[in-house]
C-alpha cells in the first residue's frame, strides 16, 4: 500500500481492475477545500491514457513490477524474440505489445517490464533515442533553405523519418523513439 505522497512518474498502480502507469502527476492545494493529486495514467494492457484525480493521502495498491534488460534478436511469425542479458533466456513477444516496431534493429537493448507476481509481460520499453543509418535520401534542392524545410528519408530499419535538407544517404541520425522524430546527426 502507498499513498498519494509516494506518486512518481513510472509508478505502476492497481486501479479499476487494471494496471496503470503514472505518466504525469500534479499535487494541487487549492485555497479552499482539501488537497488532491491530478494524474495521467496509461493502461499497461490497452495502452489508453486516462486522467484521474485522487484525494490527497488516499491509499492505493502499488503493483510490483520488474524491469529486465533484454536484447532484440530477430522477428518471425511468432513475434519478436528477445534474450535476457544476464540469464540468456529467450522470450517471444507479440507485435501488439511493441510501439515503434519500425525503429527496432537486431542487437538493440530494451527493457521488458514484467508483473513480478504473475510473470506476465506488460510492456517493452525501447531506449528514448536510437542511432540509425540513412539508406535512402533524395538530395536537397539548392536554395531551398529559407525556412526549416524537412524531407523524408528511409533508415536501415525501413522507417521513414522527416529530417532537415542537409541529411544525406549514409549519414547516421539520432531518432526519438517516443514520436519517431529526428533529433540530431551523429558524427563518426
Q: What is the DSSP letter of 44?
A: T
Same domain, 71 and 100: yes
Q: Is 90 exceeded by the pLDDT of residue 10?
A: no
Domain boundary among the residues 82, 107, 125 is at 125
Q: Are residues 171 and 120 in the same domain?
A: no
- 38-65 pLDDT, tens digit per residue, is 999 988 888 789 999 999 999 999 988 8
Same domain, 38 and 69: no
55 and 107 fall within a common domain: no
| Residues 123-135 pLDDT 10s | 888 899 999 999 9
pLDDT interval class at 144 (50, 70, 90): low
CATH number, domain with residue 142: 2.40.50.140
Same structural domain, 120 and 140: no
CATH code of 49's domain = 2.30.30.30
Number of domains making up the chain: 3
Question: What is the domain range of residue 85?
Answer: 65-125
When pLDDT is cut at 50, 70 and 90, the band that residue 182 belongs to is very high
Question: What pLDDT does 41 receive?
Answer: 93
Res 73: pLDDT: 94
pLDDT 10s digits, 104-117:
989 999 999 888 88
Do 39 and 76 lie in a common domain? no
pTM of the entire predicted model: 0.74
Question: How far is 118 from 99, CA to CA, in rounded Å?
Answer: 23
Residues 137 and 118 in one domain: no
9 shares its domain with 52: yes
At 146 the pLDDT is 63
Residue where a domain terminates, one of 45, 62, 79: 62
Neighbour count for residue 139 (Cβ, 10 Å): 9
Residues 92 and 47 in one domain: no
The per-residue b/e assignment along 1-22, b for 16 or more CB within 10 angstroms, e otherwise, is eeebeebeeebbbebeeebbbb
Residue 145 has pLDDT above 80, yes or no: no
- 85 shares a domain with 74: yes
Q: Are residues 58 and 6 in the same domain?
A: yes
Choose one of 74, 101, 125: the last residue of a domain: 125
Residues 69 and 104 in one domain: yes
Burial environment of residue 78 by CB neighbours within 10 A (0 to 12, 13 to 18, 19 or more)? exposed
Amino acid at each position: 500500500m502507498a499513498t498519494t505522497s509516494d506518486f512518481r512518474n513510472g509508478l505502476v498502480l492497481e486501479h479499476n481492475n487494471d494496471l496503470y502507469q503514472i505518466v504525469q502527476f500534479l499535487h494541487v492545494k487549492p485555497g479552499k477545500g482539501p488537497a488532491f493529486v491530478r494524474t495521467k495514467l496509461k493502461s499497461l494492457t490497452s495502452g489508453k491514457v486516462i486522467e484521474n484525480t485522487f484525494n490527497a493521502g488516499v491509499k492505493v495498491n502499488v503493483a510490483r513490477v520488474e524491469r529486465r534488460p533484454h536484447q532484440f534478436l530477430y522477428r518471425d511469425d511468432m513475434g519478436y524474440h528477445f534474450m535476457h542479458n544476464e540469464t540468456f533466456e529467450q522470450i517471444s513477444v507479440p507485435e501488439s505489445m511493441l510501439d515503434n516496431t519500425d525503429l527496432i534493429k537486431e542487437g538493440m537493448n530494451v527493457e521488458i517490464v514484467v508483473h513480478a507476481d504473475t510473470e506476465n509481460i506488460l510492456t517493452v520499453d525501447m531506449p528514448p533515442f536510437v542511432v540509425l543509418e540513412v539508406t535512402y535520401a533524395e538530395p536537397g534542392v539548392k536554395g531551398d533553405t529559407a525556412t526549416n524545410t524537412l524531407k523524408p528519408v528511409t533508415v536501415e530499419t525501413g522507417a521513414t523519418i522527416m529530417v532537415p535538407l542537409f541529411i544525406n544517404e549514409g549519414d547516421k541520425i539520432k531518432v526519438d523513439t517516443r514520436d519517431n522524430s529526428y533529433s540530431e546527426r551523429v558524427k563518426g
